[in-house]
Homo-oligomer: A and B are copies of this chain.
Amino acid sequence: MSEKKRLTKLPTIRRMPMYLRMLTKVQKDGMLHVSSNYLAEALDLEAIVVRKDLAVAGILGKPRVGFEVTAAIAAIEKFMNFNSPSDAVLVGAGHLGQALLGYTGFVKLGLNIVAAFDSDPGKCGQVHDKPIYPLSEFSERCKDMNIHIGILCVPGRFAQEVTDLMVAAGLKGIWNFTPRKLNVPDEVVVQREDLAEGLAELSVKLSRMSGTEV
């Protein structure tokens, strides 16, 4: 029903982890309620943005009181499906790969990295309590574990090759940390993560600051 219900805009979606983090902090601090104004201040946003975003996740506040912290946390987790984490695998256990592998915060955001793969046998073994397998075992293990999400941390020149492997193993989503465009079938989702974008933004903001307009 309501098949054509309006799709939530992406900027709002992308802000959800921020709200969740801040609400959790605020909860730890013992606050039972929080105003949009408080959250906005703490997150460098406008209060109206916070209210609109929370409304999207089904969170309504009370005038004079604000938003109930615990309920808001629960609502975001439900809305974003953070409570039923998906298992994921990572390919490319270099520094970046290991950094992601060791980051414990993803589980709270619905992502559970269960294993990594690397073509270098020397990298195989155990890192951050996560097993690293030879890439040759990729397809078999993914199917065994019923994996749907892959994290791509290999050098750019191997990006498409490993992507093909991921698609063949039945993965449905690829988090792409290489600066390459990946060719995938329509039913596979690719999320690019290109640090160069942020760097470009930073340097332009800096030159604007110092007067060297761009």
Which residues on B sit within 8 Å (CB–CB) of A168? none
Interface size class of A (residues with CB under 8 A): 35 or more
Which residues on B sit within 8 Å (CB–CB) of A17? 179, 194, 196-197, 199-200
Stretch at the interface among A27-35, A129-137, A139-147, A206-214: A206-214
For residue A96, which residue of chain B has the nearest CB? Answer: B99
Which residues on B sit within 8 Å (CB–CB) of A204? 8, 10, 13, 80
> How far apart are the CA atoms of A201 and B16 in the complex, in Å?
10
In the complex, what's the smallest C-beta–C-beta distance from A145 to chain B, in angstroms? 17
| Residue A111, interface by CB 8 Å | yes
For residue A21, which residue of chain B has the nearest CB? Answer: B179
Q: Can you list 19 A-B contacts with CB-CB less than 8 angstroms, sorted by A residue number?
A: A7-B214, A8-B204, A18-B194, A80-B200, A80-B214, A95-B95, A95-B96, A95-B99, A105-B179, A109-B196, A109-B199, A109-B200, A172-B210, A173-B202, A189-B202, A189-B205, A189-B209, A191-B199, A192-B198
Binding site for B on A (CB under 8 A): 3, 5, 7-8, 10, 13-18, 21, 42-44, 79-81, 86, 94-96, 98-100, 102, 105-106, 109-111, 148-149, 172-173, 175, 179, 181, 187, 189, 191-210, 212-214
